[in-house]
A and B are shown apart, each in its own frame.
Chain A
């Protein structure tokens, strides 16, 4: 058993860099490696992924394992898990970190099953204390925080929630040890025949700022008049409560909550949302929460960092203007 911590590297979708979640995991991984005398390694799987290992070095990795093969051009469970499992069996890392998108959940669960490893999905914290690795993860709609302790199961495979760890700082010119590995002989039984952008897709999980609206806005016209412009002024995305998704104001893609998306942005603004348990489950770990609601007893105020009691139709346009004004100052 080595004392290596591995981070599965994802490529940023719209930039020539590693994804934000990878920078966050390298930040957390660096901290864990430094306090426990371990090595931080990047796991780079894909086709034509030259450059990603160097980016990972710049963000703190000491080492990179790279499998660059045409068979990994698209994510498939067999291809990615096969490549990762072969490397993990050879180099025996203590901990493997991934993000927790649907694709990464598919990957991390299958990898843990193949390796007979420990597994924590949607983790919000990871600690190493001597030989003991533990992870915290919410369940039951965020109402229970479980502490999982991996006594002997190695590696521990931990899929972490986005935006809970600070990104590693970039250190230009930093380098590391590159380990190129061949694609193992695994059979890839599924074939991706088409990839299409989802109509009206909103990546709420990636957004640093989210403005959500609810039934308190009164009508879909009011929602669209108030919420998207405020989100745009803040450079954020816009979300919705289940009530208005069910009422057909806005597509399901925008729904935040237990049956929608779970988000953890730097700033979450809830406008005209009363704060049903099922909504709170999807946003209560946001760093700062602002609630705007005319009912001073709305449960949303109990989780809000800042609350404004009043009419959204009056407050939101003023807020949008004020934010634009300060941004130009």
Chain B
């Protein structure tokens, strides 16, 4: 699990401890991800489901969101979906919004605090931590929430729990179970390359610090950087 997943699971567990119900770990990826899911179960989640199918390999973020939305619709009776603000590979932050739109649910992204969660009244109040401001937002449930780093302090799973979940059979659904047909991603990726190397830089020489500083400032002024 990434750190972002740990914040996500922790937040779900805390509200589950207050309100009861189920915490289902849902992930889309290869079978090897069962180990990560087990870690979340060891933290205290009650249920798990892996979406895995060779047909999912080429899904882009919008396609993945549609697949996960189909699974959530099939699970039924879900009040809240919590995810990380973005994945550590794609880094776009698009999955949460795309999932919310696919489900037809409201979205609250970049949440740094869930202030109220009332599953009876179907209402959530949360703080969205944006670059320069904190927005307090109220929404109905069900909703999709994405959380930021430091929303909580994730717990460590106990050894006892790690042992207990080691043998749990994690169900796997493929495209057929979800009633999805293979779909082409909306964009083809034609290149994945390392960033171009930066032009070779220059080490500023000088007899002492004062001379180095003058030379540096000369160069910054000449090249119109300052």
Q: Is A144 an interface residue (CB 8 A)?
A: yes
From A4-12, A47-55, A87-95, A112-120, the one touching the partner chain is A112-120
From A58-66, A148-156, A163-171, A220-228, the one touching the partner chain is A148-156
In the assembled complex, the Cα of A121 lies from the Cα of B96 at a distance in Å of 13
What is the interface residue range for chain B against chain A? 35 or more
* A119 in contact with B135 (CB, 8 Å): no
* A102 in contact with B110 (CB, 8 Å): yes
In the assembled complex, the Cα of A314 lies from the Cα of B223 at a distance in Å of 25
Q: A139-B90, A198-B132 are in contact. Are A148 and B199 (CB under 8 A)?
A: no
Interface string of A107-147 (1 = CB under 8 A from B): 01110111011111110000000000010011111111111
The residues of A that contact B150 with a CB separation of less than 8 Å are 252
Q: A147-B191, A191-B137 are in contact. Are A109 and B203 (CB under 8 A)?
A: no
Q: Is B192 an interface residue (CB 8 A)?
A: yes
A-side interface residues, number (CB < 8 Å): 85
Q: A305-B201, A306-B204 are in contact. Are A196 and B209 (CB under 8 A)?
A: no
The residues of A that contact B169 with a CB separation of less than 8 Å are none
The residues of B that contact A17 with a CB separation of less than 8 Å are none
Q: How far is the CB of B172 from chain A (nearest CB, A)?
A: 25
Q: Select the residue from A105, A113, A314 with max chain B CB neighbours within 10 A.
A: A113
* A121 in contact with B213 (CB, 8 Å): no
Q: 28 A-B pairs, CB-CB below 8 angstroms?
A: A77-B97, A81-B101, A102-B130, A109-B92, A109-B96, A109-B97, A119-B61, A119-B94, A122-B92, A137-B92, A145-B195, A151-B187, A156-B187, A189-B140, A190-B106, A198-B130, A201-B131, A201-B133, A284-B198, A288-B220, A288-B223, A289-B198, A303-B198, A306-B204, A307-B204, A310-B209, A315-B212, A318-B209
Q: A106-B107, A137-B92 are in contact. List 6 more A-B contacts (CB 8 A).
A: A106-B97, A116-B186, A134-B190, A143-B195, A252-B149, A288-B223
A positions within 8 Å CB-CB of B: 13, 77-78, 81, 101-103, 105-106, 108-110, 112-114, 116-122, 134, 137-151, 153, 156, 189-198, 201, 203, 205, 209, 234, 252, 258-259, 266-267, 284-285, 287-290, 296, 301-311, 314-315, 318-319, 322-323, 326
B positions within 8 Å CB-CB of A: 60-62, 65, 88-98, 100-102, 106-110, 125, 128-140, 149-150, 186-196, 198-199, 201-204, 209-210, 212-214, 216-217, 219-221, 223, 225-226
